[in-house]
Amino acid sequence: MLWLVLVATAKPAAAQVPNLVDVSAQYAPSTRFDDPRATEAQISSYQLGINLPLPLSARRFLIVGLAHHVDTAAYARMSDGLMDQRTFHATAVSATLVQLLPDRWSLLVRAGGSLASDVPSLDHRMIGYSAVALAAHRWSDRLTLGAGALVAAGFGSIRPLPAALVSWAPIDGVRVEAFLPAFVDARYTAWNRLELGVRAEITGNTYAVRDARVAARWPCAAQPTDDPATPADETRARSEACLDHVSYTVGSVGLVAGVRLASSIWLTAFGGIHVYRRFEEQNQNGDALAGGAHSLPATLMVRTSVVWRIPRT
C-alpha cells in the first residue's frame, strides 16, 4: 500500500492515498456573528486539488501537488443594512517523497508552501510554509500505523504538532482512516460502487489582508488630523494594532456518502454540523487584535466533491 501525506496549506492537514483530481464546494447557511458591525455571516468554500505521482524507482515515489482554495464570506451589516462580501484565495504547492523500507516500513516527507490573501498581490508576509515527516509500519494487510510530526510556519508564528496515522480494515468493505490532529474517517464500501460512513475533521486557513481600504485607515496608516473625540492619536500609526491577516478554523462532524460514477471517478457528499468555528484578526506578529477574536455558532453544512482516485494497490 502506498501512503502519502498531503497538507494543502498551513491549516488543514490530511493524510491519505491522494486523489489525482479533487473538486469540491462547501456551503453553510448564514448565522449570527458576534461582531457589532455585522448581524450575520455566510461562508462558502471551494477547492481544486491536483496531484501528480512520479515513480522514481521501485521503492521510491514523488508526488507533486497543486491546490487552490477559496473562502467567500458575505456579511449582512447592522448599521446600514448593506451586504459586504469578502473573498480569500489560497494557492499551495507541495512535494511528497515516499520511501518504502524493508520489513514493511515506509518513510514519508512532505514540504509545501502557500500564498494566501484577499487580493491578487504578493509580498513575503503572505507566504506560509508547512512540513510533515512520518514513519509508518504495515503490521498486516489490514492495519497500518504511523507517527511523526508536522509544522506550519508563516504570518508571524510557528506551530509544531505531533502527528499520528492509522489505516485499519477490520472486515472486508470497512475502512477506518485517521490523521491526527486533522481527521478521522470510517466508511463502508459496497460492491466497489457505494460508500457510507462518518467523518470528523478540523480545517482552516490563514489569509493576508491587503485591502487598500484597510491599509489607508488608522491604525495601519497615520491620518492627517487627530480626532479629539477619541483617546488615541490618529496622527501616529500603530502597527501592533493594524490588521495584517485573518485566520479561520472549523471543526465538523457528519455523515459521508459516495457513488462511483465511472472507473475511479467518485461523486461524494459530506453533510453534518460545524461544531466549532473561530475567526481571528491578527497583526503582523501573529498576535490577536483587541476584540478581534470571534466565534460563530454551530450550524449545518454540506460539501460535495468530484474526485478522481488512485486505485488502491
Write the pLDDT tens digit of every residue in 52-104: 999 999 899 999 999 999 999 887 765 554 557 889 999 999 999 999 999 99
- For 251-302, write each residue's pLDDT tens digit: 999 999 999 999 899 999 999 999 999 888 898 888 888 878 888 889 999 9
Grid-cell match 494566501, residue found: 116
- Mean pLDDT in residue range 97-126: 89
The answer to whether the beta carbons of residues 286 and 303 sit under 8 Å apart is no
Beta bridge pairs of residue 193: none
Residue 13 confidence (pLDDT) above 50: no
Grid-cell match 457505494, residue found: 194
Interatomic CA distance for residues 266 and 258, integer angstroms: 7
Q: Could you give the count of Cα atoms lying within 13 Å of 61 in the half-sphere of its Cβ?
A: 19
141 contacts: CB under 8 Å, gap ≥ 6: 169
pLDDT score, position 194: 96
**221 three-state secondary structure:** coil
Annotate 64-90 with DSSP letters as a single string. Answer: EEEEEEEEEEEEEETTT--EEEEEEEE
Give the pLDDT band of residue 4 (cuts 50, 70, 90). Answer: very low
